[in-house]
C-alpha cells in the first residue's frame, strides 16, 4: 500500500480508529484516564484526531519529519500543561497497537517507523 492509500484508510476510518486508540490508551494508562473529566476526554479525542491527521499527511508525502516535528511540538505544548512524556509515549504505543491490527506487516512497519521516530525525538 502506498503512503497515499494508507492516508486514505486512516482518514476514512478516523472515528473508528480514534475509538480503538482511546480504548487502548485507557488500558495502558488506567489511572491517568480515570481522572479525566468529559472535557478532558474530548480534548484527548481531538488530539488523537490531529495526531492521526498529521501521521496520515506525512505518510502520504513520504516526509517523516512532518509527523516527528509535529509530535515534538505537541510534547512541548503538553509539557507546559503538566502532561508528562510518559503519557505521550503511551499514546504512541496505543496508536501502534491499534494500527498493527489494521494494516499488513509491511505497511505497519512503515507506519511504525514514523511513530518510533517521533517517540525518539521527544
Q: What percent of the chain has pLDDT over 70?
A: 100
pLDDT at 34: 87
Average pLDDT value over all residues in the chain: 95
Chain centroid to CA 55: how far? 7
102 phi, psi to nearest 5 deg: -100, -20
Check whether 74 has a pLDDT greater than 90: yes
Domain spans, the chain: 3-121
Per the confidence metrics, is the pTM higher than 0.85?
yes
Q: Which residues are within 8 A (CB) of 76 and not within 5 positions of it... i.e. 6 or more apart?
A: none
Across the range 29-37, mean pLDDT stands at: 88
35 phi, psi to nearest 5 deg: -90, -5
Q: Please identify, in words, the CATH class of the domain defined by 3-121.
A: mainly alpha
Amino acid at each position: 500500500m502506498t503512503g497515499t492509500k494508507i492516508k486514505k484508510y486512516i482518514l476514512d476510518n478516523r472515528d473508528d480508529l480514534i475509538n480503538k486508540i482511546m480504548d487502548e490508551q485507557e488500558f495502558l494508562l488506567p489511572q491517568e484516564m480515570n481522572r479525566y473529566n468529559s472535557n478532558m476526554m474530548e480534548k484527548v479525542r481531538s488530539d488523537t484526531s490531529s495526531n492521526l491527521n498529521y501521521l496520515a499527511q506525512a505518510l502520504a508525502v513520504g516526509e517523516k519529519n512532518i509527523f516527528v516535528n509535529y509530535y515534538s511540538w505537541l510534547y512541548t505544548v503538553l509539557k507546559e500543561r503538566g502532561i508528562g512524556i510518559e503519557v505521550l509515549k503511551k499514546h504512541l504505543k496505543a496508536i501502534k497497537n491499534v494500527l498493527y491490527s489494521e494494516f499488513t506487516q509491511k505497511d505497519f512497519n512503515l507506519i511504525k517507523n514514523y511513530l518510533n521516530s517521533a517517540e525518539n525525538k521527544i
